[in-house]
């Protein structure tokens, strides 16, 4: 499944995926996994002016955060905002992979905030075959 098809599936079935409990998150700072995983409270996605976007709201280290990314499939331009602040050296990756009889979807945000390199990954089951 290509990244655009994955976003279209998520958008078509948004009520199924908007519940944060459907997502598992991980976070690395400078390549090291953080001790406590972020807890996702909400997910949303869509297409704005022809550009797909995805947004996660989550709790981490006692604070509430919002991470939003856009990916243009026409010119490759990407952007990420973390708590409404534009971040530097950003990369958004959408991918699918199989785990047993499940098709999993992942959305990864890779960026620098200050001097710290952050990697967030959000995973969900798109389709269960059984």
Predicted confidence (pLDDT) per residue in 59-104, tens digit: 999 999 999 998 887 777 889 999 999 998 888 888 888 888 888 8
pLDDT, tens digit, for every residue of 14-48? Answer: 778 899 999 999 999 999 999 899 999 999 988 88
pLDDT value for 112: 93
Query: How is the chain split into domains, by residue range?
Result: 3-28+37-128
1-5, 58-62, 83-87, 107-111: least confidently modelled range: 1-5
Q: Compute CA 56 distance to the chain's CA centroid, rounded to the nearest angstrom.
A: 6
CATH of 3-28+37-128, one of 2.40.128, 2.60.40, 1.25.40, 3.40.50: 2.40.128
Cα angle vertex 40, ends 112, 68, to 5°?
Answer: 40
pLDDT value for 65: 97
CA–CA distance, 23 with 16 (Å, rounded to integer) = 11
Contact 75, 85 (CB under 8 A): no
pLDDT value for 1: 61
Contact 110, 82 (CB under 8 A): no
CA–CA distance, 1 with 98 (Å, rounded to integer) = 11
- 129 or 113: whose pLDDT is higher? 113
Give SS3 for 21. helix
């Amino acid at each position: 499944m290509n990244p655009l098809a994955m976003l279209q599936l998520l958008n078509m079935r948004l009520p199924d995926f908007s519940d944060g409990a459907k997502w598992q998150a991980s976070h690395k700072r400078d390549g090291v996994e953080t001790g406590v995983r972020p807890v996702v409270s909400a997910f949303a996605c869509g297409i704005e002016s022809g550009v797909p976007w995805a947004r996660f709201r989550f709790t981490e280290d006692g604070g509430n955060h919002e991470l939003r990314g856009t990916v243009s499939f026409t010119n490759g331009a990407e952007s990420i905002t973390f708590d409404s602040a534009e971040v530097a050296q950003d990369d958004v990756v959408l991918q699918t992979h199989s785990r047993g009889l499940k098709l999993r979807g992942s959305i990864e945000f890779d960026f620098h905030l200050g001097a710290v390199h952050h990697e967030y990954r959000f995973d969900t089951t798109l389709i269960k075959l059984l």
